[in-house]
Structure 1
Amino acid sequence: MKIALVENFGSDFFGARLRYAQFLKDNGHHVVAVVPDDGYADKIVGAGIETISIKVNIRSRDVKTMFAYGSKLGEIFKKEKFDIIHFYRMQPNIIGSPIAYFASRKSKIINHITGLGVAFTKSSFKYNVIRFIIKSAYNLNSRIFNAQLILQNNEDKIELGNLQEFLVVKGSAVNEDRFRLGLPKNIELIDELKNTYGMTEGITLIFVSRLLKQKGLSYLVEAVRVHNLNHINNKVNLLIAGWLDFNNPDSFTKEDIEKFSDVDGVIFLGKRNDIDQLINISDIAVLPTYYREGTPRFLLEAMAIGKPILTTDMPGCNHLVKDNENGILVQPMDQSALTAAIEILSKRDLNNLGSVSRKIYENEFSENVVYNKLLETYLKK
C-alpha cells in the first residue's frame, strides 16, 4: 500500500510518528510523510522516510492560510494517488478530509484524534460554539467523507457521538529503544542536577509537558511546596522539563516559571532532549492535567521505563492507572489531593509500582499492540 502520514508539525512527526512510519516501511509499504516546512523534513528523510514538505505555516489560523494549506494537500493527493491518507490532529483532520475525498476518491481516509484539547476543557459560550463546530466537522467527515475516526480513549469517543464505526486505539506508543527497562543511571546527569540545581537525595518527581496552565503545573508546584514545608527531613525534588508556547494564550509566562523555580525543591530545566535519561533517574512521573488529553506521551514513556505515575482522573489519563497498583489518580485542580498522593507514594514500594506500570504498557500501549491495530484498520474493508 502507498500510505500518506499527514502531521501538523514536522517536529511532531519526527518525535511521535517516525517509528510507526518505519514499521510500515519494514512491512513492505510505501510510506510518505506530509508535513509543514518547519525544518524537520531533512531529518525525516535522513531516517529513511520519503517526505513532502508544505511551505505553509499551519499554525496561522487565518482563512487565507487554511485555503493555501488545503490547496497544497489537494495537489499532493491528486498526484500521489495514495491508498491510505492518515491525518493526525485537528487541523489536518478537518481541513484535509474533504480535500482527500474529492482529490483522491479511492483513498481510505483516517482521522487520528490525539486529544480534544482546550476547547473541551473550558466552559463558556465561545468554547461551546467551538465544541459544536468540532463535533459537527468530525461527524461530517465520518458520515459524508467516509473518514475512519480513531481516538485514543473511550471518553473522547463518547464525546464525539460514540458511533459504532469510531475506533479506539490507546495512545501512539513510544520509542522503545529509548524508553525501556534496564537503562543505566546517568551519573553525569545526576551530578549536574546536584551541583548546578541543588537536587537532594530525596524522592524525585518529574513533569514533562508544554507549559500550559491546563497541564496543572501550578497545583503541582504548590503541592511540592507544602510537602517540603511539612517534611523537612523527607523533601522531594520536582524536575520540570517543559517549554513555553508563546503562540498559546494559555501558556505560562517567564515570570511564572521564575516564581515556580524559587520554590524549595523545584528545578526548572526548560526544553530537553534527554527525557529518557531524566525519567530514568526520577522516581515518579507526574502530570496533574485538566486538559483534554488523548493519551499523554510522557506518561507512556515513564510507564515503558517502569515508573509509577501520579495523574488526574481525566480522559486520556485515567486509563493509565489500574486500581492504584501502578500509581494514583487525583481529581484535577486539587492541590491538597496532590500533596496527599505525594506523601502516600513516598511510603510505597516504587519499584513494585513501576513494574506494574511496565506490564500495563506492554499489554495495552506498546508499539506491537498499537502499530498492528492501526495496520489492521488500513486492511479492513
Structure 2
Amino acid sequence: MAEAKKVAIITNLYNDVLHQRKEVVEGLVSAGYQVLIFCQGTEKLFATFGNSIEYYEVPIDRRGKNPFHDMKMLIQYIKKIRLFKPDIILTYTTKPNIYGSMAARFFHVPYIMNVTGLGSVFNASGFIALAVMKLYTYSISRAGCVFFQNEENQKVFEQKNIHCNSSHVIPGSGVNIAVHRLEPYPQSDKIIRFLFVSRILKEKGIFILIEAAKVLKKQYSNLEFHICGPCEKGYEKYIHRAHQDDIIIYHGPQDNIHRFMKKCHALIHPSFYPEGTSNVCLEAASTGRPVLTTDMPGCRNTVNDGESGFIFKPNDVSALIKTIKKFLLLSNEEKRTMGLAGRAKVKQEFNRQIIVDCYLKEIKRLI
C-alpha cells in the first residue's frame, strides 16, 4: 500500500483555518492526504480536526517589522519541514507566503501560494516596502501555482514585475453556504440594525463608519450600529468611548458571527484596505443580508450594485452616509429581496467547493 502524500499548510492564525480553510483541509483529508498545519493558536484546531491532522505552533507578528523575529519563524518552518517531509506546501498571507516558500525552496518542495490581499505595503515607500517587494519577487518566482483572489491583485503583481510560472484567479476563499445558511430577514424595520465585522483598524473604515453613525443617529432614532472584531493596538479607547456615547454597540471579538448577521438588516464593510476578497461580505450575502461596501478590489466584486447591495466611494464619510440613507428608503420587502439576490450570487460564484476543487486539481498536477 502506497504511503499517503503529505501536504503542509502555512498560515497566520488558527482563525484563518477554521473560518476560511476548513473545507480545504477536510477535502485534503478525504482525498487521502496527510496534513500538517503551521500557525498560531493550534490548540484551537484540535476541537475541529482532532487527530486527523498534525499541528505545529508558530508564533507570528503579522504587522511586525523585526527581521530577527521573522528569521526565527523561518527557522521553525525549516526544522519542522525537515521532519515532516511534505510533498507539497500551501501558503497563505504575506509573511507565510514569503517565508513558507523560502523553506519550501530550501528542500526543493513544490508550493502553492495564495495572495489573500496586497496589504498596505504595496502602496508604501521606503526600505521596508522595497524589501518586501524583493522578497515577494524571490518567493513567487518558483511557485508551482499562485492563486489570486481578484484580477486587480494579479495585475498589480504584473505591473511590479513580480512574475510566477502559473497563476489563477479564484473567487476569494469562498463561503460555506451550508454553515452560512440563508436566514429569514427581520420582519420589522422599526429598529434598523447595521453590522460591521472586522479587525478594528483605520484601513478597514472604522473611523468612517463611526463618523457616519454620529451624523445619522442625530437624524434617525431607530438605527443601531453593531461592531464585532478585535481592537488593534491603539484603538481601544476610541472604540470604547464611541460605545459609551451610544454611537455604536461594541461586542468585541466573536467566534460566532452568524448569530449577529441573522439579526441585522445589512452589513456595512467600509474598507479601503487592499483586500483579496472580503470573506465577511460573502458570509453576510450568503446569510441573505444586503451588503454596503466600498468600490475597492476584493469588496466590489462581492456585490451587484443596486441589486444585492450598494457600493460607495472608499474613505468618504459623505458617500457612506448617502448610501445608508439610500438603503433606509427601501421597504423591508425590498431589503429582503436584495438579501436574496446576494445569496443567489454567492451560491453561483463563491461556493467554497470551487476553492477546494482548485486546490485538489493543482496539488495533483504538481505532485
Query: TM-score category by the smaller chain?
Result: 0.7 to 0.9
Residue deviations 1:37-94 (CA, integer Å, cap 9, x gap): 5643533542x54123135555565333322322222222233232220011111111
The one-letter code of the counterpart of 1:180 is R
Distance 1:139 1:368 in 2: 30
Residue deviations 1:14-51 (CA, integer Å, cap 9, x gap): 332223201221233222222235643533542x5412
SS at match of 1:281: coil
Equivalent residue number for residue 336 of structure 2: 351
Equivalent residue number for residue 111 of structure 1: 113
Q: Which runs of 5+ in 2 are unaligned?
A: none
Distance 2:294 2:100 in 1: 33
How far is 1:339 from its partner? 0.9
Equivalent residue number for residue 26 of structure 1: 30
Mapped contact 2:176–2:351 kept (Cα < 8 A): no
Distance 1:376 1:135 in 2: 29
How far is 1:375 from its partner? 1.9
Distance 2:203 2:36 in 1: 34
Equivalent residue number for residue 197 of structure 1: none
The one-letter code of the counterpart of 1:378 is I
The one-letter code of the counterpart of 2:83 is K
- Could you tell me the TM-score, scaled by structure 2's length? 0.87
SS at match of 2:262: helix
- Decide whether aligned partners of structure 1 residues 170 and 68 sit closer, same or farther in structure 2, where only a CA change above 3 A counts: same
SS at match of 2:305: coil
How far is 1:257 from its partner? 0.9
SS at match of 2:289: coil
Equivalent residue number for residue 269 of structure 2: 287
The worse-fitting range, judged by mean Cα deviation, of 256-265 and 300-309 is: 256-265
SS at match of 1:52: strand
Mapped contact 2:150–2:170 kept (Cα < 8 A): yes
How far is 1:357 from its partner? 0.7
Mapped contact 1:35–1:51 kept (Cα < 8 A): no
Equivalent residue number for residue 55 of structure 2: 52
Distance 1:358 1:41 in 2: 29
Distance 1:264 1:55 in 2: 40
Mapped contact 1:242–1:270 kept (Cα < 8 A): yes
Distance 1:37 1:242 in 2: 17
Quick check: 1:221 aligned with 2:218? no
SS at match of 1:243: coil
Equivalent residue number for residue 330 of structure 1: 312
Distance 1:374 1:66 in 2: 27
Equivalent residue number for residue 151 of structure 1: 148
- Decide whether aligned partners of structure 1 residues 335 and 242 sit closer, same or farther in structure 2, where only a CA change above 3 A counts: same
Residue deviations 1:166-215 (CA, integer Å, cap 9, x gap): 22112112343431114698x9xx9xxxxxxxxx9321110011101111
Residue deviations 1:207-265 (CA, integer Å, cap 9, x gap): 01110111111211222222232234xx321111121122xxxx52x221133224555
- Decide whether aligned partners of structure 1 residues 45 and 85 sit closer, same or farther in structure 2, where only a CA change above 3 A counts: same
- Map 1:54-203 onto structure 2 (within 5 A): 54=57, 56-59=59-62, 61-103=65-107, 105=108, 107-121=109-123, 123=124, 125-126=125-126, 129-143=127-141, 145-161=142-158, 165-182=166-183, 201-203=190-192
Mapped contact 1:21–1:49 kept (Cα < 8 A): no
Distance 1:335 1:184 in 2: 27
SS at match of 1:244: coil
Equivalent residue number for residue 379 of structure 1: 364
Equivalent residue number for residue 272 of structure 1: 254
The one-letter code of the counterpart of 1:154 is E
The one-letter code of the counterpart of 1:226 is V
Percent identity, aligned pairs only, is 26
SS at match of 1:160: helix
Mapped contact 1:152–1:170 kept (Cα < 8 A): yes
Residue deviations 1:309-331 (CA, integer Å, cap 9, x gap): 00111111011122321111111
Equivalent residue number for residue 363 of structure 1: 348
How far is 1:379 from its partner? 2.6
Equivalent residue number for residue 200 of structure 2: 211
SS at match of 1:70: helix
RMSD: 2.6
Mapped contact 2:38–2:58 kept (Cα < 8 A): no
Q: Which runs of 5+ in 1 are unaligned?
A: 191-199
Runs (4+) of structure 1 exceeding 6 A deviation are none
How far is 1:277 from its partner? 0.8
Distance 2:166 2:214 in 1: 47
